[in-house]
Amino acid sequence: MGIENLKPHLIRFDYEVKNSLFPVLIFDRDNTLFDDQGSSNLISGFKWRAGITSLLRQLKELSIGIAIASNQPRVGEGVCTLTELDEFNQYSVSQIQLESECSVFAIACCTHQKNLGCNCRKPNTGLLECIAALDPLMKIIGFVGDSEVDFEAAENYGIPGFDVHHIVGDQAKTRCQEQFWSLVEQCT
Ligand SMILES: [Mg+2]
Ligand SMILES: [Zn+2]
């Protein structure tokens, strides 16, 4: 199979039709929204990153929706199944909605092995492109992640990248938080 056939694995969620541009913040999944037991994609390993639920509640107050972009090479490696991935993702979104009522528009995952050269594995931009293609009114405003591939993907796509460690929790940095909230508030 040629690499041009390697497409992101996308789950999209229903939302009310919009009639003007609406802001969407992209989040990485593992070690950003949730602790990294998630990479095994077992619901029993689901655990929030500290501080994330209150961040999501604040975004909900500002009518900012989110989408998730995640590398999941373990699927391609045969370590976990697509069904386990989907079940974990569906469960995660139900927890996000339960805790924050924040709108989640989509989860896009690269399920390919690391060395296949697909365009969806971050730091490539295929996951962001496939989310953006869902709705021409969606305005992707930034990317919150925990690792270099997330920040590089943001840069490659031309949006600001934010380190989750600097936005929530013990390592939060006032200046980064100010930059983050000024970006978010510009969009509301
Ligand atoms: Mg991560
Ligand atoms: Zn991929």
121: helix, strand or coil? coil
* Number of neighbours of residue 160 by Cβ within 10 angstroms: 14
Mean pLDDT estimate for the chain: 94
Q: Are 67 and 106 in contact (CB under 8 A)?
A: yes
**Using CA atoms, how far apart are residues 117 and 119, in angstroms rounded to an integer?**
7
3-state secondary structure of 55: helix
pLDDT, one tens digit per residue, over 112-166 is: 999 999 999 999 999 999 999 999 999 999 999 999 999 999 999 999 999 999 9
Quick one: which H or E segment has residue 27? strand 22-27
What's the 142 CA to ligand 2 centre distance in angstroms? 21
Q: Which CATH architecture has domain 3-186?
A: 3-Layer(aba) Sandwich (3.40)
pTM: 0.96
Give residue 36 CA to ligand 1 midpoint distance, Å.
8
Cα–ligand 1 centroid distance for 106 (angstroms): 17
CA 45 to ligand 2 center in whole angstroms: 24
Tokens of 168: 């929530």
Cα–Cα distance for residue pair 46/41, rounded to 1 Å:
8
57 compared with 16, residue with greater pLDDT: 57
Domain ranges of the chain: 3-186
SS3 120: coil
Measured from the alpha carbon of residue 69, the closest ligand is 1
Ligand nearest to the CA of 27: 1
**How many A from CA of 22 to the centre of ligand 2?**
27
Smallest-distance ligand from the CA of 38: 1
Residue 136: asked if its preceding bond is cis (omega within 30°), the reply is: no
**C-alpha 139 to ligand 1 mean position (Å):** 22
Cα-to-centroid distance, 6 and ligand 2 (Å) = 6
Quote the CA–CA distance of 127 and 124 in Å, as a whole number.
Answer: 8
Alpha carbon distance 103, 48 (integer Å) = 17
